[in-house]
Amino acid sequence: MNPIKVMVNGLPGNVTQMIATHILRDDALALLPYSLTGPDIASDQVVVENETIELIRPDRRDASIMAIKDTYGPFISIDFTHPAAVNSNARFYCTHGLPFVMGTTGGDRQELHDTITKSSVSAVVAPNMARQIVGLQAMLAHGAENFPELFQGYTLEVRESHQQGKADTSGTAKTVVGYFNAMGVDFSDDRIQKERDPEVQKQQWGIPEAYLGGHGWHTYTLTSPDGTAVFELKHNINGREIYVEGTVRAIRYLEKQIREGVQGRIFTMIDVLKAT
């Protein structure tokens, strides 16, 4: 079978460089030497594993993508860019018939859903690409569906910490809050405590210095009305390897759906998890 062709967008970001590196080392995948990037990126190219990748800013992408499609044929796009670009990027992919895997959080998620389902493009969209965290979310989803009053009256505290460059509140934290809402907890996303200060992360959270530039620490604390019962859920991830591994699985899953002729569908990492 021919390698799955992949275009990794969002270079020279840290996550995308790791994904690009993995693809270059995987014989079942083939990396296109192009990447859509943001308007603030000054460089015209980036080198990954001795491979030069041309960076395409928004003002050139419509013209460039036609030539890329003519040269390489069908391929899957990977989107780890910026929350502000979520909806415009999705419209771009759908307009040009580019199936994609999107790990970018933020944006108008309902608009994102509508853009995909009204197009001929299928995509894997997930605020978290880590399979293990997605599995944990699936367990919480089961609880939300089957035990709607499990934590009725409980108070919830949510603390999340990510690298300084992450602009928005964790999409994973918001998803988990939604499950607890369904289990009877009164809590809104704007009460999530977001930490982005490296000194605070190091001194107060105890996050290893080596991972201040790339981590995702989350703690959810539920307390009963009288304070006699406390439940705590925690998932702390250092580095980005866990997300890269999940993204590669999402690529393979989406390619299979495309071969089977699926169009206009949104898949989640739970779909990927069930298939692997």
Q: Quick one: pLDDT at residue 31?
A: 98
Q: In this structure, are 110 and 192 located in the same domain? A: no
Q: Band the pLDDT of 165: cuts 50, 70, 90.
A: confident
Q: In this structure, are 135 and 49 located in the same domain? A: no
Quote the number of domains for the chain: 2
Above 80 in pLDDT, residue 276?
no
CATH code, domain carrying 101: 3.40.50.720
Is 70 inside a domain boundary? yes
Q: Which of 121, 147, 165 is the last residue of a domain?
A: 121
Q: In this structure, are 79 and 11 located in the same domain? A: yes
Distance in angstroms (rounded) separating the CA atoms of residues 230 and 119: 46
| Catalytic-residue membership of 82 | no
Above 80 in pLDDT, residue 5?
yes
Q: Quick one: pLDDT at residue 226?
A: 98
CATH code, domain carrying 163: 3.30.360.10
> Pick the catalytic residue: 162, 174, 215, 218?
162
Above 90 in pLDDT, residue 106?
no
pLDDT, mean of residues 240-247: 94
pLDDT, mean of residues 152-178: 94
Is 162 inside a domain boundary? yes
> Pick the catalytic residue: 22, 166, 174, 215?
166
Reported as a single tens digit per residue, the pLDDT across 216-234 is: 999 999 999 999 999 999 9
The mean of the pLDDT values for the chain is 95
Q: In this structure, are 101 and 175 located in the same domain? A: no
Above 80 in pLDDT, residue 196?
yes
Q: In this structure, are 67 and 171 located in the same domain? A: no
| Catalytic-residue membership of 69 | no
Q: In this structure, are 144 and 230 located in the same domain? A: yes
Q: Hunting for tokens 């003002």 — which residue is that?
A: 59
**Concatenated DSSP letters of 198-218:** HHHIIIII---GGGTTSEEEE
Q: Quick one: pLDDT at residue 67?
A: 96
Q: In this structure, are 66 and 157 located in the same domain? A: no
Share of the chain above pLDDT 70, in %: 100
pLDDT, mean of residues 235-249: 95
pLDDT, mean of residues 43-71: 96
Distance in angstroms (rounded) separating the CA atoms of residues 231 and 26: 42
Q: In this structure, are 14 and 71 located in the same domain? A: yes
- Count Cβ neighbours within 10 Å for each residue of 228-255 and write b for 16 or more, e otherwise: eeeeeeebebebbebbbbbbbbbbbbbb
Q: In this structure, are 96 and 168 located in the same domain? A: no
Is 261 inside a domain boundary? no
Q: Quick one: pLDDT at residue 87?
A: 95
Reported as a single tens digit per residue, the pLDDT across 41-53 is: 999 999 999 999 9
Is 143 exposed, middle or buried (CB count within 10 Å of its CB: 0-12, 13-18, 19+)?
middle
Q: Quick one: pLDDT at residue 20?
A: 97
**With contact defined as beta carbons under 8 Å apart, do 5 and 76 qualify?**
yes
Q: In this structure, are 187 and 93 located in the same domain? A: no
| Residue-number span of the structural domain to which 31 is assigned | 4-121
Q: In this structure, are 103 and 52 located in the same domain? A: yes
Is 274 inside a domain boundary? no
Is 231 inside a domain boundary? yes
**With contact defined as beta carbons under 8 Å apart, do 154 and 224 qualify?**
yes
Is 88 inside a domain boundary? yes
Q: In this structure, are 107 and 163 located in the same domain? A: no
